[in-house]
Structure 1
Amino acid sequence: MSWLLTMMLALFYSSPLIAITTPTRLPQLEKSLGKILTRLYPLAGRYVEETHSVDCKDQGVEFIHAKVNIKLQDFLVSEENVKFIDEFIPSKIGVTRQQSDPLLATQVTTFICGGVAIGVNATHKIVDASTLCTFVSEWAVTNREENEIEFKGPGFNSSILFPGRGLSSMPCPVWECNIKDESKGTTNSTNQWSKVQLVSAIIWKTFMGIDLAKHNLQRDSKLVQAVNLRGKMASLIPKTSCGNLFGLCTTECTTTLERTEELADRLSDSVKKTVTNYSKGRHDCEEGQVMVLDSIISMTNISRGGPILVPPGSPDPQYLKKK
């Protein structure tokens, strides 16, 4: 079983920031998208489930144009409109689980004021958050430049950095729920939490409460976080390297229902420890590759125990694909 997780992003631009008119803007965005796909060509291919590989025959990506009969500023001014953000992102891809499914979908939505929303949706089978950011950045640069520019990044090189080891994809549970909670009170913590760690702690605490209510006891639980390997290992992995280039770190929680701040501290400390360990390994040697591989394989054993929360990630990173 493979995950259907995707990486999604929506960007909003007011009309003064758009130097070209709407009739010209759409063809230019579509043309520049085609150019960037020649450099990041796996995004225009199709995923082959049997071999866990990408068939690159320039099948293309989705490019959708939508219109809304409101002004951008009217949409952004209301906090209640947050629930409509997904409308500016192309529908979930890969749901039909067919080889014909695109790996990338884009949507350009125009407002009556001239503002624009650009939504991107890419399968997590071949890209992580860093790869998505590289794609969006390169698309933006290409769209702004009148002359041809050269993409100087290494592109999709994850299979070279972490060669395949003949392992199949691994199933892992993904839990979803609507969370409405706040981190309250004071804390003596000296950690600097990231927004992701704080939100993860809130979600984790909520699931612990649900588990307690359901089973009438507080079971041990673990949360798995993805750690971007770019710039983290002793050997250089360029920032613009594309693919799924991450390791996993696991944070445990005992049966005591802890405060959100305490959970956030644990997540922060776990990531720091993991990064320190990765900084001692090289991706171009057996020891470093096994270190990353073991962190992902260990998730299989974890899922056999009690509750587990997993980060948005992929069971099919390039270094786990079948030969």
Structure 2
Amino acid sequence: MEIELISRETIKPSLPTPSHLRIYPLSFIDNIMRRTYVPIIFFYKPNDISDQNFKISQLRKSLSQLLSKYYPFAGRLKDKITIECNDQGVSFLVAKIKNKLSEILQNPTDNLLNPLFPDELQWTNMDWSETLISFQINCFSCGGMAISTCVSHKVSDASTILNFMHDWSLINRKIEEENETGFLVLPVSNLLDGGASIFSQKDLPIFQEVLPLKRESNVVCKRFVFQPSMINFLKAMVTSSPGSIEVVTAWIYKCVVSIIGLNIETTPFNTVVDLRKKMVPPLSEKCVGNIIWPMSIVFDKKEMELEDLVCKIEEGLYEFNDVYPKIFGENRKDNLSLISKCLKQATDPRPENENTFTFSSWCRLPMYKTDFGWGKPTWVTTYSSFSRDVIILMDTKNGNGIEVMVNLKENVMEKFEHEVELLQHASFIPNPSNVEHDA
């Protein structure tokens, strides 16, 4: 792939951060979170290539306005528990790609995706003084575009990142309307909920960060698209009415554990739970930061049928939702010792050779609603983490299927994709029908 970096600049907030908001305290969950850059990329089908420079100019302007709302993102870490909102800004790169967009989407390998991210930051560990978020605008020869971002996990979870991108697209569309009508864009309101305003660090010890993901050379990542027919086939194996995410998660866990030759009873299972809707009262979906917590399940049998696994996962979620929102919620002052215990457990390093399967669902988030004014994205994805036994679930464009990114050791992956019959029907191409033939 031929790529040329056209420009590199820093975008700062359109309005200075008020003095009383200059210090932004992080939450106790943010404080233990690794500083790893989480990558996401949005692909947009071809439009008039002559408009690309105009679009980039609008993106600069709308991003600057957005940063006045998400003002902590334009700052720098002051110490382990606070951000100095000093308006230093975020990295903004523009690259021209001589290839067509279709060449990427027909075979989205890591080698092709890698240069589309800013400074190849994906899944690397952020230095304390570095920018919290970076962007790269990729312009293809056919008129297609790809907007990528790498955001420090220290300040955001997947929901925060995708809400940020969605809000950016909304402001960008308003700017386009302003250009057409002459009306001014209304100022963006300040960010209200996030950080220590949700989960205060006060009176709690400061624990070390969770260790960054270890990149292993013998780990490969494959994408599997579970179409509705495949999901319904799995649901038919369960007598209850399981959710799509739960049944796909349980099935992948069961298959991989079996292929490795392990047993379920001694193979840890983790999944990340979004706490926003679980809290009492529920938090806004726009709450920023890490409003998540890992749920671990210990199974009591060496082998379990899919139905039993789904049941155990659903029971685990029910118990989790009944316990953690209360511990972390309004009565947290009475639960400081319990919170400290939770934080210690979350940050304790795991045995290096232990197979711990970690699932993270980005489903039902507004990734495919991110329309900057030239249509909704054709495909949204992340990048291989190269950390074994990490599985990320995302919606397909139509919302009916689930795209799963599976990171496994190479020998395990070879067995997984060739020995599991259902995967023979999985697609590896994201959305070929949504890409124009001449792209």
TM-score, with length taken from structure 2: 0.58
Counterpart secondary structure, 1:299 = helix
**Which residue of structure 2 lines up, in the alignment, with residue 134 of structure 1?**
163
**Which residue of structure 2 lines up, in the alignment, with residue 89 of structure 1?**
117
Question: Is contact 1:229-1:247 (8 Å) kept?
Answer: yes
Percentage of matched positions with identical amino acids: 21
Partners of 2:280 and 2:83 lie apart in 1 by 29
- Aligned residue runs from structure 1 range 173-188, under 5 A: 174=213, 177-178=219-220, 187-188=237-238
Question: Is contact 2:98-2:140 (8 Å) kept?
Answer: yes
Counterpart secondary structure, 2:108 = helix
Unaligned runs of 5+ in 1: 314-323
**Which residue of structure 2 lines up, in the alignment, with residue 308 of structure 1?**
356
- Counterpart pick for 1:149 among 180, 183, 186: 186
- Counterpart pick for 1:168 among 202, 207, 215: 207
1:286 offset after TM fit, Å?
2.2
Question: Is contact 1:89-1:119 (8 Å) kept?
Answer: yes
Structure 1, residues 114-169: CA drift from partner, whole Å, max 9, x if none?
Answer: 11111111010110111112210111111111332344574452211211023222
1:30 partner amino acid: R
Partners of 1:149 and 1:19 lie apart in 2 by 30
Structure 1, residues 212-232: CA drift from partner, whole Å, max 9, x if none?
Answer: 4xxxx8771222222111121
Structure 1 residues 178, 206: CA separation in 2 closer, same or farther (over 3 Å shift)?
farther
1:278 offset after TM fit, Å?
4.9
- Aligned residue runs from structure 1 range 42-121, under 5 A: 42-48=72-78, 50-76=79-105, 78=106, 80-83=107-110, 84-90=112-118, 91-92=120-121, 95=124, 97-121=126-150
Counterpart secondary structure, 1:284 = coil
State the number of aligned residues. 305
Of residues 3-12 and 191-200 in structure 1, the stretch that sits farther from structure 2 once superposed is: 191-200
**Which residue of structure 1 lines up, in the alignment, with residue 390 of structure 2?**
none
1:102 offset after TM fit, Å?
1.1
Structure 1 residues 61, 139: CA separation in 2 closer, same or farther (over 3 Å shift)?
same
- Aligned residue runs from structure 1 range 128-277, under 5 A: 128-146=157-175, 147-152=184-189, 154-155=191-192, 157-164=194-201, 165-172=204-211, 174=213, 177-178=219-220, 187-195=237-245, 198-199=248-249, 202=252, 205-206=255-256, 209-210=259-260, 212=262, 220-254=266-300, 256-258=302-304, 262-277=308-323
Structure 1, residues 164-202: CA drift from partner, whole Å, max 9, x if none?
Answer: 023222445746633568999762252434447725752
Question: Is contact 2:39-2:122 (8 Å) kept?
Answer: no
Question: Is contact 1:153-1:240 (8 Å) kept?
Answer: no
Partners of 1:35 and 1:2 lie apart in 2 by 27
Structure 1 residues 144, 71: CA separation in 2 closer, same or farther (over 3 Å shift)?
same
Counterpart secondary structure, 2:273 = strand
Structure 1 residues 95, 136: CA separation in 2 closer, same or farther (over 3 Å shift)?
same
Partners of 2:328 and 2:80 lie apart in 1 by 27
Partners of 1:153 and 1:208 lie apart in 2 by 50
1:10 offset after TM fit, Å?
1.1
Question: Is contact 2:276-2:282 (8 Å) kept?
Answer: yes
1:266 offset after TM fit, Å?
3.3
1:23 aligned onto 2:53: yes
Partners of 2:317 and 2:67 lie apart in 1 by 34
Structure 1 residues 188, 136: CA separation in 2 closer, same or farther (over 3 Å shift)?
same
RMSD: 3.8
1:270 offset after TM fit, Å?
1.9
Question: Is contact 1:251-1:270 (8 Å) kept?
Answer: yes
1:286 aligned onto 2:332: yes
TM-score, with length taken from structure 1: 0.77
2:199 partner amino acid: F
2:108 partner amino acid: N
Structure 1, residues 230-249: CA drift from partner, whole Å, max 9, x if none?
Answer: 12111241111111112332
Structure 1 residues 256, 282: CA separation in 2 closer, same or farther (over 3 Å shift)?
closer
Partners of 1:125 and 1:257 lie apart in 2 by 37
Of residues 104-113 and 184-193 in structure 1, the stretch that sits farther from structure 2 once superposed is: 184-193
Of residues 257-266 and 142-151 in structure 1, the stretch that sits farther from structure 2 once superposed is: 257-266
